[in-house]
Structure 1
Amino acid sequence: MNMGEVEKKTQSGELNIEHVSIEFNTVSGDKMKALDDISLDVAHGELVAVVGRSGCGKTTLLNIVAGLLEPTGGTCRLNGKEITGPGRERGVVFQADAVFGWKRVGDNVDFALKLGGVPKEERGQLITKYLKMVNLEKFTKFYPKELSGGMRKRLQIAMVLANQPKLLLMDEPFGPLDYATKVELQVEVEKIRLKNPLTTFFVTHDVEEATFVADRIIMIEKGKIVEELKVDIPRPRPVEIRNTAEFHAISDYLLGKLLELSDVKSEVR
């Protein structure tokens, strides 16, 4: 660092993605560039949703931020510190179930707290706190197999939040669920963030979901950012906001852009 340089000051939870690229080897021995010079800042407390078609690179980008993949070029920083691998300051909610089937609901959260180094005498109160946060406090003694898919996803979120991450990463978390349950959980995310406004990086292929949860939406196509859109819908956002012209203007625009990128023709013959 030159003497005249001043290290960039960041707030807790601020994410900086700087000129990130990544290449993979194909079976034929060629190089495939999955991400190409991606730069993106996520402010403290902001929820940025990343949308795009399957294979566009959005989950690859999340995995780099999570420390699960190493970029070919560029860097990711959280609170000014370069990300070089997984860390407790980043919590990931994956699409697949990530709960312990042989442990009761409360014990799942207890395990997360134990991993975080929370003393045993403090964990009971915190288990209740995080289960209340996701409306599962009445299911402490249940096993995951006794819960619905949506309830298991709530449990997974509670386990991640129990680690008190600075950055929440969500990779199409509600993708496998039915539409009504997805909407219900999107509302739950809204409620949780009103109480605990975590910096959040949310990957989804669902433009309505992105419009509902996000402060800002990034669209990726073929490994490049092709669109950035601020969502100026006031919070809190009740489920009825989906019926407004303002909501549909954003989600319809995003869908139109995706169809344009897909070269889908408007005529049906």
Structure 2
Amino acid sequence: MVVLLAFTLVPFATLLSAALQPATEPPQGLAWPSISQWSNFVDAFRAAEMTPLLVSSIMIVVGVVPISILIASFAGYGLALLRIPGGRWILLVFIAGLTIPFESLITPLYFQMKALGILNTRLAVILPLIGIFMPFGVFWMRSHFVAIPAEVSEAAKIDGAGPWQAFWRVHFPLARPAVASLAILLFLWTWNHFILALVLIEEPTKRTVAGALGAFQSQYQTQVVLLAAVSVLIMTPSIVVFMIFQRQFSKALLEGAVKG
């Protein structure tokens, strides 16, 4: 595990050391600078004009994550605990969605968003991401609801709760670890997503911070220190969110392992 941890941390350490190098000196791998240039992050923040990009990324995340969790929870609950006609076939369709290469969807998504008249808007990224994340989200939430003991549903039914009341008052509160872990994954995937933002949005300020990195790289490709500083700034929110909610994520994984 120590070896695997080293393979994971070395690239991040290299990137951070490169971001702290003097702008006039080329980065030298893991060589830590004698004087750390923390002002490089301020220069990178200003050069990349990250304030509108951060606002745009937050808006896209807020549009994708809650709606995806809600729909995935409804579908997972229905496929796991309700007798839906053809439920197994519906589940197979969602599982098949996990096997579709994302790159094959970019071109049809472009023409579909253009036909809907929402090209070059954040909605053009939000709607496809919700659909792309749905197969995994449904599969994730269904796995949680299937693991709930049948006695819980029977007790709710005896108390007079219908499927809707049982979901909101019993099953969804019990699904907090699964919902929290799914929210973390969706946040990370949405925050770091850049392909759809580059293809479907022409105005740079409406893209995600990760999507703007490609345009920034082409403009400052010779300034490696500045590129490294921007990359660190883009990665920081993802790392912070994961560190804050890692207990919920681990709890959901362990809960599924025990109940499975």
Q: TM-score, normalised by structure 2?
A: 0.26
Q: Tell me which structure has the larger Cα radius of gyration.
A: 2
Larger strand fraction of residues: 1
Larger helix fraction of residues: 2
Q: TM-score, normalised by structure 1?
A: 0.25
